[in-house]
Amino acid sequence: MKNSISEIKNKIISSYINDEKTYDEAKSSNINVLLNRVKLDKKRESRKKILFSTAASAGVLLFGFFIF
């Protein structure tokens, strides 16, 4: 039992001590993918704005119709 606990501790400690990982590697991105994502985000946002404006206008019209 004692050996298994010490083995687990050693594994946990070794995962923090491991220096083989390099975090300085440069990551590259395809600019076309990023630009397409921006275009799609703009389209989605404009659709949401139009939908919200339509829903708000319909709500005001219905509210006005029921009041008067």
Question: What pLDDT score does 29 carry?
Answer: 78
pTM of this prediction exceeds 0.75: no
Q: Tell me the HSE value of 36 on the side-chain side, using a 13 A CA sphere.
A: 5
- Is 54 within the bounds of a domain? yes
Interval 22-45: pLDDT, tens: 556 667 778 999 999 999 999 999
- Is 13 within the bounds of a domain? no
- Listed in sequence order, the DSSP H helices in 1-68 are 2-17, 31-67
Domain holding 44, by residue range, is 30-68
- Is 65 within the bounds of a domain? yes
Report the C-alpha gap between 58 and 25 in whole angstroms. 54
- Is 34 within the bounds of a domain? yes
Domain count, the chain: 1
Which three-class secondary structure state does DSSP give residue 18? coil
